[in-house]
Amino acid sequence: MRQTIAAGVLSMACSLVGGMVQAQPTKVISLDAGKIQGASQDNIDVYKGIPFAAAPIGELRWRAPQPVPAWDGIRQVTQYGHDCMQKPFPSDAAPLGTAPSEDCLVLNVWAPKQDKKSLKPVMVWIYGGGFVNGGASPAVYDASQFAEQGIVAVSFNYRLGRFGFFAHPALTKQQRKYPEEALGNYGFMDQIAALKWVKNNISKFGGDPKQVTLVGESAGGFSEHVLLTSPKAKGLFNQAIIQSGLGRQWEHAKRFGVPLSDPDSAEATGVAFAKQWGIEGNNEQALKKLRSLSADQVVHDMNMMNMNTPTYAGPMLDGRIMVKQPQEYYMSGKGLAMPIMVGANSSDIGFAPSVTSTQQALAIFGNANYHQALAAYKQSGVTQPQEIAQALASDRLMVEPARFVAQQVDKQGGDAYFYRFGYVADSLKSQWPGAYHATDIPYTFNTVKAKYGDQLTNNDSAMAALIHQYWVNFIKRGDPNGEGIPAWDLYQDDGHEMMLFSNRGVAYSHTVSDPWTARLDMVAHLYDKP
């Protein structure tokens, strides 16, 4: 049976990854700002670099996204636009394909050639990168395989770092001129603007604006939590796939409406940043000087490697977009009454301290619960002190919060499909203890060839085809199950059902009762503490 499933999935992988023919122009599409024309390849039409908001430069730096200026003629949209301004870092799992720029608010569409019989389901991808890195252009984010299976796929850019998440008293004063605009979370405002563009325009590409699935990983996954709980995003989507997207809270989120002397003040971080460049005060002149800083000066060499700085706020509780932490909202019984697929990776990200003993690794549980915690981690196959510390850090940041979301979906009457991605590419199995953060993405997009090149094996391709098919099925029907693939049971809190994408391959990937239940229960109890 296992060999039959593996062979069938590999055949599916081979049929999906075909050769591309010479691109031809698509039909012309009329948008509010003007006409566009993309590139037609095989069975899909591709449109890249479509502006969905005005360039956030000059006076529009640190403003809510504004309407796109109209253009004359037919705009050719065949190349990715600039990714948003940032300092890339060499070890990024998804290297950028374009040069970063402030002029970056563009989106991309992959659409099946329209048969005009019915509108197709839509997926909208939100990339990760800690809100300081990332973009829509990496090769592993190419959504052609979704379009090949009858889905209209969209990706977009949103502002990052201090361009996307910035507060300052001078900006707060300026808001009096624009009382309808929110402050601070400009990156989230961009995401909402992109979703509104989808709602208003995607039918022109054959997509159904009433059948939209958000798909995001890491910071993109946490963005989904913000959108699920934000009144500004209501009605813009109807289901979600959340990959390693936290789920309980954004640690140390800054706030508006507190004194500058408060360590939680969002505006205080902006004041600290301004002082680095000799800018004082909170009047229009100070704001003019801030907007006159070059893009490189605003970045100031910040990326994921050094983002924990007192001059950068990150996502903040602004009272309009991000009103509450997700955990608080979900536990009130709101936000998740819809189909949700959620999970994390077997060796996901977590920031563990350096330890030399199991007592140090599990110190957070206290002496009273130490032996219970130690038994729970050893039961799951983790035995060495540093391994335990890393597993606990990963559980706290990604794995347990993903399960928490599945639990809340179940309680709110939605359909929750919980998973753990544990597969490691054959070329890396001898080097990696498990699936690291973001390594699931090429499998969900079925872009493993772009990621692994000549090192790609039949096992890798088969796993990509299986996972991609689950994602396609869920986007189409709110249910990942389908003919010829293992059944994926709904999560229920009394059974802890979970789809395990096994490191042993497709033949060993199936629904199980979560083997990490004991250790995740220990982590969950940490949130019960006052």
Query: pLDDT, tens digit, for every residue of 206-251?
Result: 999 999 999 999 999 999 999 999 999 999 999 999 999 999 999 8
Contacts (Cβ under 8 Å, ≥6 apart) of 74: 28, 34, 35, 36, 37
Q: Which residue has the higher pLDDT, 315 or 20?
A: 315
| pLDDT value at residue 16 | 46
Q: What average pLDDT does the segment 477-487 reach?
A: 98
Query: What does the mean pLDDT of the chain come to?
Result: 94
Q: What average pLDDT does the segment 171-183 reach?
A: 95
| pLDDT value at residue 529 | 64
pLDDT tens-digit readout, 253-266: 999 989 999 999 99
Q: What average pLDDT does the segment 135-158 reach?
A: 98
| pLDDT value at residue 467 | 98
| pLDDT value at residue 91 | 80
Instruction: Give yes or no for a contact between 80 and 98, defined as CB atoms under 8 angstroms apart.
Output: yes
Distance, CA of 474 to CA of 484 (rounded, Å): 15
Q: Which residue has the higher pLDDT, 114 or 180?
A: 180
What is the share, in percent, of the chain residues with pLDDT greater than 70?
Answer: 95
Q: What average pLDDT does the segment 421-445 reach?
A: 98
330: three-class secondary structure by DSSP: helix
pLDDT tens-digit readout, 37-49: 999 988 999 999 9
- pLDDT band, residue 4 (cuts 50/70/90): very low
The CA angle 469-475-480, to the nearest 5 degrees, is 50
Fold designation for 336-528: Rossmann fold (3.40.50)
| pLDDT value at residue 285 | 97
Distance, CA of 445 to CA of 153 (rounded, Å): 11
Strand order in the sheet with 239-243: 24-25, 39-41, 44-51, 106-112, 152-156, 120-126, 207-217, 239-243, 340-345, 416-421, 497-501, 510-513
Instruction: Give yes or no for a contact between 155 and 127, defined as CB atoms under 8 angstroms apart.
Output: yes
- The CA distances from residue 179 to 66, 183, 222, in Å, are 14, 10, 27
pLDDT tens-digit readout, 500-526: 999 999 999 999 999 999 999 999 999
- pLDDT band, residue 93 (cuts 50/70/90): confident
Instruction: Report the DSSP pairing between strands 316-317 and 254-255.
Output: parallel
- The CA distances from residue 194 to 78, 115, 120, 198, 241, in Å, are 19, 25, 18, 6, 18
- The CA distances from residue 94 to 97, 214, 307, 493, in Å, are 9, 19, 18, 34
What is the share, in percent, of the chain residues with pLDDT greater than 90?
Answer: 92
| pLDDT value at residue 18 | 42
Q: Which two tokens stand for residue 19?
A: 């050769």
Q: What average pLDDT does the segment 357-365 reach?
A: 98
Delimit the CATH 3.40.50.1820 region(s) of the chain: 36-316, 336-528
| pLDDT value at residue 3 | 45
pLDDT at 60 over 80: yes
Distance, CA of 454 to CA of 462 (rounded, Å): 15
| pLDDT value at residue 115 | 73
Q: What average pLDDT does the segment 445-456 reach?
A: 98
- pLDDT band, residue 9 (cuts 50/70/90): low
Alpha helix (H) residue ranges in 416-482: 441-444, 448-452, 458-477
Distance, CA of 516 to CA of 498 (rounded, Å): 11
Q: What average pLDDT does the segment 359-385 reach?
A: 97
CATH superfamily to which 36-316 belongs: Alpha/Beta hydrolase fold, catalytic domain (3.40.50.1820)
How far from the centroid of its chain's Cα atoms is residue 180's Cα?
27
pLDDT at 364 over 50: yes
- pLDDT band, residue 22 (cuts 50/70/90): low
Contacts (Cβ under 8 Å, ≥6 apart) of 252: 314
Instruction: Specify the long-range contacts of residues 272-277, CB closer than 8 Å, at least 24 apart.
Output: 272/310, 272/311, 273/162, 273/166, 273/168, 273/300, 273/311, 273/312, 274/168, 276/300, 276/311
pLDDT at 19 over 50: no
Distance, CA of 500 to CA of 504 (rounded, Å): 11
| pLDDT value at residue 89 | 85
Q: Residue 31 carries which side chain, given as an amino acid letter?
A: L
Q: What is the pTM of this model?
A: 0.95
pLDDT at 275 over 90: yes
